Amino acid sequence: MDFEIKYKDAMARIGTFKTPHGTVTTPNLMPVVHPGKQTLDVKKFGAEIVITNSYIIYKNEKLKEKALKDGVHELIDFPGTIETDSGSFQLSVYGDIDINNEEVIKFQEAIGTDIGTSLDIPTAPYVKREEAENDLEITIERAEEASKVRKNLLLNSVVQGSTFTDLREYCAKQISEFDADIYPIGAVVPLMEMYRYADLVDVVMYSMRGLPENKPRHLMGAGHPMVFALAVAMGCDLFDSAAYILYANKDRFMMPDGTLKLENLIEMPCSCKVCTEHTVDELKQMNQEERAKLIAEHNLHISFAEIRRIRQAIVDGELMKLVELRCRSHPFLLDGLRRLQEYKEDMEKLTPSSKKSAFFYTGYESLARSEVSRHLNKIKNLEPKSKNLIILPHTSKPYAKHVNREYIKKYTPKIPSFYSNGKNTDYGDSDIVIADVPFGIIPLGLDEFYPLAQNESPTILDENSKQFIRQQIKEYAQNYENVLIHRKIISNFDIKDYDLIEEELLLPEAKISDFDRLKDIADYQFGKGSGEALFGNDSEKIKIEKSRKTGKIRHVYENDENIVNMRASDGFLVLSDLGAKRLHNFLPSPNMRVVVSEDSEPFALKGKSVFNKFVLDCDEKIRRNDEVLIVNKDDKLLACGKSLLSSYEIKDFNTGQAIKTRKINNLSE
């Protein structure tokens, strides 16, 4: 089964996969349909895929007969994709069931299910390690057996391992060998019932480390919309919900930020059909069955609405903002978010390098987002151009434009405005940076690069941000002999160890030349030394064309030959023929490289898209939206382009597009 990624944010994927009964878009919710007593028609809520239980069908003579004769789609009256569970859950509740793994796979195939499940053993959280290990060996054996027994059936292979994170990762790696179609993460219902979201994050993230990127993952038994955003950000693509009925039976309304009890309501809680067509009093006066059906409808409406909202957030690049919002609705969800910070390297590997939307800081947890860790990493590519550093407070963005004007008016050296590390000197020649939340240090030349120009944070600072900025200033200042810090920064971030300078200082114009700006951006984007490799050291030779409307750099030439262009949306440099050749010469392999097979060389040379199946290898550092160099196995340059995926995805996918390619002219020169 082919899974195709359309949009990405954090570890989340909007993707599609095809089954014999239709196309399924992820992330998605599979309502649980009871094969014998379903009363709600889930089609009306936009369900593309549902889940039902093959063991319940198997155990009931009437259902079994009908399912074998007419098929499961007819039985539950659902024309779309049907996934069936195997009875593992019954196994975990009753301790024993009367069907074996091979039989249950064959039965699911016989009733025409689209996606079947082997008889995994859901090991509860916090059991003894020995128990988890023993169960796990059986789960893995059965996953292998299922992959051999199935013929046309698409297959679920469930990750188990209880709360032992190493066992989760081990299991995920083992079952990935058997070529299943979807990888559910099992036995997490008790964790969610206990609100152990931090442990849930551990279990999911370790499972993800072992799972391939090219298959959908299903968080089994997760049906409350308040966990969807967090789970999607961790790479979960599918959810199943029996909760919409179970909660309704207890007069509970699910909301994306928690659960409401009918008895406490004076108003209907949302704007769905049920909530707008009925009053609280009406519901209270209904008989239980009728009421439960309506509340179940509300629960489905709300759950699908949350899925839609998450998809929009992925497209907009705002998923982590939504996750932070959702996780603030319960202290234990907040634990989950905070635990997720321990996995920021995992998250960064799959997060696109540029996005459509601005970075909104919603609390100190935002400092753990990939955009921040990536900036802290990339800023190390810049080499000091002076032994002096001046650190200025933020102004409006882009900083360089505003710092310049204010600097001359307000930061006049006539009043004591600056602190230094004791070495008073002539600061006429200095590197100038801004210190600001959430990115720490921003050299002036980078002030238009994503996301350094596209972010907002509150003006009233929290302690964690202050601490973070102090740390960033400390680290950055180490590269300089003399450091001058504006008094606003000293006071805003409670910085010690710098002394007020009373005397007059000779200060530079807070300005950066277009040439220096280009070189900084190139170093930051492509790696140390790339600026010099692309543009040399003689600014006279380089012609820079700017947009008349925005004043931003657009095109860069040397002797009428185009080196790079600047993307207006995010300030990224896009390589032209000369730029690609120069970077290819300068940066040693594997930097920026996507190595393609011999078969695809002629296509790459013509500027045709590179497909994942033709990629032999690629630089681990590549992320979605990054510029890349397309080469053959002898590192001959073939073309350049923009990556549509992260290196980790390119390595796992065998289908779909990897690179949007651009042809390079006159390659042999």
Which positions touch ligand GUN (CB under 6 A)? 85-86, 88-89, 117, 120, 122, 158, 186-187, 189, 220-221
Exposed, middle or buried by CB within 10 Å (0-12, 13-18, 19+), for 632? middle
170: helix, strand or coil: helix
**Residue 193 CB, nearest approach to ligand GUN (Å):** 11
Q: For residue 285, give every residue at least 6 positions away whose Cβ sits within 8 Å of its Cβ, in sequence order, or none.
A: none
Among residues 196, 252, 258, 202, the alpha carbon closest in space to that of 226 is found at 258
Taking the complex as a whole, the smallest distance from the CB of residue 54 to ligand GUN amounts, in Å, to 10
Does 272 bind Zn ion (CB under 5 A)? Our answer is yes
Piece of 116-124, 275-283, 287-295, 401-409 that binds Zn ion (CB under 5 A): 275-283
Report what 186 binds from ligand GUN, Zn ion, none; CB cut-off 5-8 Å by kind.
ligand GUN
Cβ-based nearer residue to ligand GUN, 34 or 344: 34
Shortest distance, position 157 Cβ to ligand GUN, whole Å: 10
260 binds Zn ion (CB under 5 A): no
Does residue 275 interact with Zn ion by CB under 5 A?
A: yes
Residue 185 or 296 having the CB closest to ligand GUN: 185
Q: Which amino acid is at 264?
A: N
User: Distance between the two ends of the chain, CA-based, in angstroms?
Assistant: 44
| Residue tagged active-site, from 85, 335, 577, 626 | 85
> Which position has the token pair 């009093």?
281
Q: Does 294 bind Zn ion (CB under 5 A)?
A: no
Q: How far is the CB of 436 from Zn ion (least distance, A)?
A: 41
Nearest CB to ligand GUN, comparing residues 156 and 530 = 156
For residue 33, count CB atoms less than 10 angstroms from its CB and return exposed for 0-12, middle for 13-18, buried for 19 or more: buried
State which residue, 154 or 382, has the beta carbon closest to ligand GUN: 154
Between 171 and 270, name the residue whose CB sits nearer to Zn ion.
270
Does the protein bind Zn ion through residue 255 (CB under 5 A)? no
Of the pair 56, 270, the CB lying nearest Zn ion is at: 270
> Does the protein bind Zn ion through residue 298 (CB under 5 A)?
yes
Collapsing DSSP to helix, strand or coil, 64 comes out as: helix
Q: What is the enclosing helix (H) or strand (E) of 615?
A: strand 615-618
| 117: partner contacted, choices Zn ion, ligand GUN, none (Cβ within 5-8 A by kind) | ligand GUN
| 519 binding Zn ion? (CB under 5 A) | no
Count the neighbouring beta carbons within 10 Å of the beta carbon of residue 636. 11
Residue 89 site contact among Zn ion, ligand GUN, none (CB < 5 to 8 Å, cut-off depends on kind): ligand GUN
Q: 641 pairs with which residues across the strands?
A: 628, 661
User: CB 222 → ligand GUN: shortest distance, Å?
Assistant: 9
Six token digits for residue 497? 């160890």
Shortest Å distance, C-beta 253 to ligand GUN: 23
DSSP assignment string, 292-360 = HHHHHHHHHHHHHHHHHHHHHHHHHT-HHHHHHHHHTTSHHHHHHHHHHGGGHHHHHHHS-S--SS-EE
3-state DSSP assignment of residue 622: coil
Could you say which of 159, 260, 270, 441 contacts Zn ion (CB under 5 A)? 270
Place of tokens 């796990």: 136
85 is catalytic: yes
Partner interacting with residue 272 (select from ligand GUN, Zn ion, none; CB below 5-8 Å by kind) = Zn ion
Structural contact between residues 630 and 594, judged by C-beta atoms closer than 8 angstroms: yes
Catalytic positions, written as ranges: 85
Query: In the complex, which residues of this chain contact Zn ion (CB under 5 A)?
Result: 270, 272, 275, 298
